[in-house]
């Protein structure tokens, strides 16, 4: 990598390049890819104008005739961010360029208050090793299963219901009790922004939660089940499909994390088949620290210290006495 090559935020002059390279991208956000397709150029345009906090931060690295583009998504009220794509996705590209781009985006995310940057990468793709070189670690592995477009089988949609604000505590407790602690650090707290939720209850206890992301080209389901719901998982997922208006028209995908491997055989019984394998890769950023102001302490002279005590002995209190009175820092005050 030549020393003059540097990563910088895109400008309006870079938009034609970004528009072209989005079509050559390596997607790092499968939920967005499977529901919406290509990242919206509108968010990229917003990030190209000097309005802090808007759009999807997008960066370019020009190295002679070659150019590389990367983007991440961050909500200003969150401390986590998701890488959305790197481009171009050609396996022949020099790893050093991608490492430089990833390191620069991590630093920029840290300046925005992000604590953790994540990406979904196929473990067999050359980018997997590039992410390792850039300091990313594997926090989890997952399989995405796909249900192709077909008529819905008979099922009772009443088995699940739409979540309400009153479910928030129970949903958060389900996540905390079923998701491994390490993975919780890289996962957005439920209920998550951009998703709508369906809940499954049994005996007054919330045992299942399905986070749904719906887009023009597909639907993604992220399931959370208590082990006690094992025997009802197939019925619960089938019922949830009746709450998705376009489930019979577009592909439906469901995430199965490594700790949920017991779900795979159940889902295959209701027409879900393995579609892709991925590693969830995470890197902690350098978090911005505000300017620290120091205040001078008053000058202290050891020979002039005057402890704030009263003259005479301190009063004692027995079990039958009332509360102690407040002692004043007055050298003339005498205890009774």
| Ordered structural domains, the chain, with CATH | 7-141 (3.40.630.30), 149-270 (3.40.630.30)
**Most confident by average pLDDT, 8-12, 91-95, 149-153, 224-228:** 224-228
- As given in the structure block, the two tokens for residue 132 are 């390792």
- pLDDT of res. 327: 39
Q: How confident is residue 112, by pLDDT bands cut at 50, 70 and 90?
A: confident
> If residue 210 lies in a helix (H) or strand (E), which one and from where to where?
strand 205-214
- pLDDT of res. 331: 44
- pLDDT of res. 41: 67
Q: Find the Cα–Cα–Cα–Cα dihedral 173, 177, 179, 183, rounded to 10°.
A: 80
45 Cβ contact list (under 8 Å, min separation 6) = 12, 15, 55
- pLDDT of res. 148: 74
Count the Cβ atoms, other than its own, within 10 Å of residue 84: 24
- As given in the structure block, the two tokens for residue 268 are 């295959």
User: Are the CB atoms for 144 and 177 separated by under 8 Å?
Assistant: no
Q: How confident is residue 330, by pLDDT bands cut at 50, 70 and 90?
A: very low
- At 51-67, the pLDDT tens digits run 555 568 899 998 878 89
User: Are the CB atoms for 206 and 198 separated by under 8 Å?
Assistant: no
User: Are the CB atoms for 80 and 71 separated by under 8 Å?
Assistant: no
Interatomic CA distance for residues 52 and 48, integer angstroms: 10
63 Cβ contact list (under 8 Å, min separation 6) = 1, 2, 5, 97
User: Are the CB atoms for 190 and 177 separated by under 8 Å?
Assistant: no
For 136, counting Cβ atoms within 10 Å of its Cβ (0-12 exposed, 13-18 middle, 19+ buried), the class is: buried
Q: How confident is residue 205, by pLDDT bands cut at 50, 70 and 90?
A: very high
- pLDDT of res. 285: 87
Count the Cβ atoms, other than its own, within 10 Å of residue 236: 23
Interatomic CA distance for residues 271 and 157, integer angstroms: 18
Residue scoring higher pLDDT (188 or 236): 236
- pLDDT of 309 over the 80 cut: no
- pLDDT of res. 89: 79
- pLDDT of 6 over the 50 cut: yes
159 Cβ contact list (under 8 Å, min separation 6) = 200, 232, 235, 236, 239
Question: Any idea which residue has 């992220």 for tokens?
Answer: 222
- pLDDT of res. 187: 86
Which pTM does this prediction carry? 0.79
- At 145-166, the pLDDT tens digits run 999 766 666 666 789 999 999 9
Considering only CA atoms, which of 81, 235, 209, 222 is closest in space to residue 144? Answer: 222
């Amino acid at each position: 990598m030549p020393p003059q090559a540097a990563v910088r935020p895109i400008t309006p002059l870079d938009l034609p390049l970004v528009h072209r390279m989005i079509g050559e991208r390596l997607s790092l956000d499968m939920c967005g890819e499977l529901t919406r397709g290509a990242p919206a150029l509108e968010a990229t345009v917003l990030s190209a104008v000097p309005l802090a906090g808007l759009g999807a931060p997008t960066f370019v690295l020009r190295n002679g005739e070659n150019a590389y583009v990367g983007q991440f998504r961050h909500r200003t009220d969150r401390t986590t961010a998701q890488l959305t794509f790197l481009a171009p996705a050609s396996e022949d590209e020099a790893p050093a360029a991608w490492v430089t781009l990833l390191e620069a985006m991590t630093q920029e995310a840290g300046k925005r208050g992000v604590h953790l940057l994540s990406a979904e990468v196929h473990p067999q793709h050359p980018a997997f090793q590039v992410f390792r070189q850039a300091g990313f670690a594997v926090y989890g592995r997952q399989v995405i299963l796909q249900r192709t477009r077909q008529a819905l089988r008979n099922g009772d949609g009443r088995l699940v219901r739409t979540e309400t604000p009153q479910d928030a505590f129970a949903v958060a407790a389900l996540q905390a009790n079923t998701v491994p602690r390490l993975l919780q650090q890289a996962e957005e707290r439920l209920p998550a922004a951009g998703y709508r939720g369906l809940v499954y209850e049994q005996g007054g206890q919330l045992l299942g939660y399905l986070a749904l992301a719906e887009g023009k080209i597909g639907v993604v389901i992220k399931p959370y089940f208590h082990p006690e719901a094992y025997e009802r998982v197939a019925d619960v997922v089938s019922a949830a499909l009746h709450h998705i208006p376009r489930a019979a028209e577009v592909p439906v995908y469901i995430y199965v994390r490594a700790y949920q491997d017991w779900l795979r055989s159940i889902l295959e019984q209701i027409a879900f088949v393995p579609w892709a394998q991925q590693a969830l890769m995470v890197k902690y950023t350098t978090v911005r620290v505000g300017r620290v102001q120091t205040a001078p302490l008053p000058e202290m002279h050891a020979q002039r210290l005057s402890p704030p005590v009263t003259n005479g002995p301190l009063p004692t209190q027995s079990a039958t006495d009332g509360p102690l009175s407040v002692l004043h820092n007055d050298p003339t005050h005498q205890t009774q």
